[in-house]
């Protein structure tokens, strides 16, 4: 599969906004910086969480790309094998990041206590995180944003189940398996956008988020089959109805992301020059940076408190250094765990 530069740019952008969002929410540098730039930083602190929608749409797009190919070539493997592969891919760097967060939180408590320092987790809390069930069983999360990892696995599991059903339908009816998958995913997206996503009590389950994921599915189908106009109208129509039912600002970003992915092949020549070097690198390490930055922020906060840093420049420097270390740590996690490489000898 050819590289999609639009996805590189979106992942790089979204991951950095999430890091900045959490640093503004959870570190003592934030009040000083927000007082200096209240409009920009206040917006990121309040609304930055919405960029997770970008990852959800990309997830649906890429899952559809993979499963469509398997269905078209009649080589869909057993669902449990696909789920196992996805679980291991998500969980290995997640486990390491959680271990780092626990250790850094314990060390932070030795330096200076603050609200984000937590006690060492119990066995049940650890097991819930190992199996990505922390939200389902109602235990306190050991890091910020880790709900997304569990939801990603659930969403993929739903897609795999629908792909398996589609393969069975394709053998007994007139419809091709990939179009059966499109119809099933589209129906689930409609039910999510127009019903499930209206009820926050369901936000620990995949169907609450499948509207965004499903728009990624529609975007891939429309791009693959050259149905850009139909796909655009379909995405706009589904979102317009969802927003008419209840206004949700996050869905605007969902729709924009889906439309960008839908047109990504047309945009490739334009954006390919932008998605080189640092942008591509940040896109590659985005998941690892997303996972590991919170523990670093907790420890950095204790250091800032212990040093009693005052003033704009010192807080800005502490903020930038924390951000840079988060990116560096994400790169190490990506190289050593997510990618499976070892660091080169010096």
pLDDT in tens, 270-282: 888 887 889 999 9
Local confidence band at 342 (pLDDT 50, 70, 90 cut-offs): very low
Nearest to 284 by CA among 325, 334, 324: 334
Q: For 117-151, how does the pLDDT look when each residue is reduced to its tens digit (9 = 90+)?
A: 988 999 999 999 999 999 899 899 999 989 999 99
**Cα gap 205→193, rounded to integer Å:** 14
Tokens found for residue 74: 């009649």
Interval 172-177 mean pLDDT: 82
Q: Mean pLDDT in the chain? A: 93
Interval 165-188 mean pLDDT: 89
Interval 46-63 mean pLDDT: 96
Residues 6+ apart with CB under 8 A from 115: none
Tokens found for residue 188: 């689930």
* 78-82, 205-209, 281-285: the lowest-pLDDT one: 78-82
Local confidence band at 1 (pLDDT 50, 70, 90 cut-offs): low
Has residue 345 got a pLDDT over 70? no
What does the DSSP assignment read for 258-288?
Answer: HHHHHTHHHHHHHHHTTSSTHHHHHHHTHHH
Label residues 288-325 b or e (16+ Cβ within 10 Å = b).
bbbbbbbbbbbbbbbbbbeeebeeeeebeebbeebbeb
Interval 58-75 mean pLDDT: 93
Within 10 A of 207 (CB to CB), how many other CB atoms are there?
18
pLDDT value of residue 172: 74
Q: Are 177 and 75 in contact (CB under 8 A)?
A: no
Interval 58-71 mean pLDDT: 96
Has residue 290 got a pLDDT over 50? yes
Q: For 230-253, how does the pLDDT look when each residue is reduced to its tens digit (9 = 90+)?
A: 999 999 999 999 999 999 999 999
């Amino acid at each position: 599969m050819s590289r999609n530069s639009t996805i590189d740019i979106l992942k790089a952008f979204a991951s950095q906004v999430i890091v900045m969002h959490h640093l503004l929410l959870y570190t003592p540098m934030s009040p000083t910086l927000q007082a200096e730039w209240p409009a920009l930083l206040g917006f990121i602190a309040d609304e930055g969480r919405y960029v997770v929608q970008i990852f959800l749409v990309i997830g649906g797009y890429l899952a559809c790309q993979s499963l469509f190919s398997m269905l078209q070539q009649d080589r869909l493997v057993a669902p449990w094998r696909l789920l196992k592969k996805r679980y291991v891919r998500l969980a290995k760097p997640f486990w390491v990041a959680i271990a780092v967060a626990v250790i850094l939180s314990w060390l932070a408590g030795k330096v200076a206590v603050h609200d984000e320092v937590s006690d060492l987790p119990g066995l049940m809390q650890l097991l819930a995180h190992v199996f990505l069930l922390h939200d389902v069983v109602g235990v306190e999360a050991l890091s910020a944003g880790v709900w997304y990892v569990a939801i990603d696995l659930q969403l993929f599991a739903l897609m795999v189940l629908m792909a398996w059903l589609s393969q069975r339908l394709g053998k007994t009816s007139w419809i091709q398996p990939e179009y059966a998958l499109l119809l099933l995913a589209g129906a689930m997206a409609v039910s999510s956008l127009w019903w499930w996503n209206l009820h926050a009590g369901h936000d620990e389950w995949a169907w609450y988020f499948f509207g965004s994921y499903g728009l990624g599915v529609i975007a891939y189908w429309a791009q693959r089959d050259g149905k850009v106009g139909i796909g655009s109208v379909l995405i706009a129509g589904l979102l317009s109805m969802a927003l008419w039912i209840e206004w949700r600002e996050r869905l605007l970003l969902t729709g924009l992301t889906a439309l960008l992915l839908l047109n990504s092949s047309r945009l490739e020549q334009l954006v390919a020059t932008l998605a080189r070097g640092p942008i591509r690198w940040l896109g590659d390490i985005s998941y690892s940076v997303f996972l590991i930055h919170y523990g670093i922020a907790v420890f950095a906060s204790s250091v800032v408190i212990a040093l009693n840093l005052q003033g704009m420049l010192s807080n800005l420097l502490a903020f930038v250094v924390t951000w840079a270390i988060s990116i560096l740590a994400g790169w190490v996690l990506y190289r050593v765990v997510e990618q499976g490489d070892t660091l080169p000898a010096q």
